[in-house]
Amino acid sequence: MKITYPKAIFFCGLVWGFVGYKLVSKGIVYFNALFLTQNLSEGQLSFWIGISLLVGLAKGKFLLQKSANRVIQHIVSFEEPLKIYQFLPRSFLITMMIMMSLGMTMKYIPISLFVKGMIDLTVGTALVFGAIHFVKKAWMIRLALKKL
Q: 69 to each of 90, 103, 137, 147, how far by Cα in Å? A: 16, 24, 9, 22
Average predicted confidence (pLDDT) for the chain: 89
Mean pLDDT value across residues 6-24: 93
The pLDDT of residue 1: 67
Mean pLDDT value across residues 81-98: 80
How many angstroms separate the CA atoms of 125 and 45, rounded?
Answer: 17
Indicate the domain borders of the chain. 6-78+88-143
Q: For residue range 101-126, list pLDDT tens digits in order.
A: 888 888 888 988 899 999 999 999 99
Mean pLDDT value across residues 6-16: 92
How many angstroms separate the CA atoms of 44 and 40, rounded?
Answer: 6
How many angstroms separate the CA atoms of 148 and 131, rounded?
Answer: 26
Q: For residue range 60-76, list pLDDT tens digits in order.
A: 999 999 989 998 998 88
The pLDDT of residue 124: 94
Q: Which pLDDT band, with edges at 50, 70 and 90, does 57 fall under?
A: very high
Higher pLDDT, residue 15 or 85: 15
The pLDDT of residue 100: 82
The pLDDT of residue 139: 94
How many angstroms separate the CA atoms of 92 and 117, rounded?
Answer: 25
Mean pLDDT value across residues 73-80: 88
